[in-house]
Amino acid sequence: MPQMDLASTYEPKTRVGQPRRYLKGNPRGQTLLLPKTVGEENESRFIDTFIDGLNLKRLGFTHTAPLTEGRPPYDPSDMLKLYVWGYLNQVRSSRKLDKECGRNLEAIWLMRGLAPDHWTIAAFRRENAGVVKAVFRELVRLLIRMGLVGKDLVAVGGVKLKAVNSNTRNLRRETLAMNNERMDAAVVRYRALGRLACLVQRIIEEFSALWIIR
**pLDDT, tens only, 28-59:** 676 666 666 788 888 999 999 999 998 888 88
CA 113, CA 101: separation in Å to the nearest integer? 8
Q: Residue 37: inside a domain, yes or no?
A: no
Q: Are 183 and 87 in contact (CB under 8 A)?
A: no
Residues contacting 155, CB < 8 A, separation 6+: none
Return the ∠ at Cα 154 (arms to 151 and 159), rounded to 5°: 170
User: Does any domain span residue 1?
Assistant: no
Max intra-chain CA distance, the chain: 89
The amino acid occupying position 40 is E
What domain range is 69 assigned to? Answer: 43-153+179-213
- For 119: left if phi > 0, alpha if psi spans -120 to 50, otherwise beta; the answer is alpha
The answer to whether residue 198 is domain-embedded is yes
Kindly report, residue by residue over 76-116, the tens digit of the pLDDT: 899 999 999 998 898 988 999 999 998 998 999 999 888 99
Q: Enter the DSSP assignment of 48.
A: H
Least confident of 70-74, 119-123, 124-128, 167-171: 167-171
65 inside domain:
yes
Residues 109 and 48: their CA atoms lie apart, in Å, by 10
- Whether the full predicted model's pTM is greater than 0.75, yes or no, is no
How confident is residue 212, by pLDDT bands cut at 50, 70 and 90? low
pLDDT at 210: 57
On whether residue 167 sits in a domain, the answer given is no
Tell whether 16 is covered by a domain: no
| Across 111-134, average pLDDT | 88
Predicted pLDDT of residue 17: 59
Domain tally, the chain: 1
pLDDT of amino acid 11 = 47
> Is 171 part of a structural domain of the chain?
no
Residue 173 lies in a domain: no
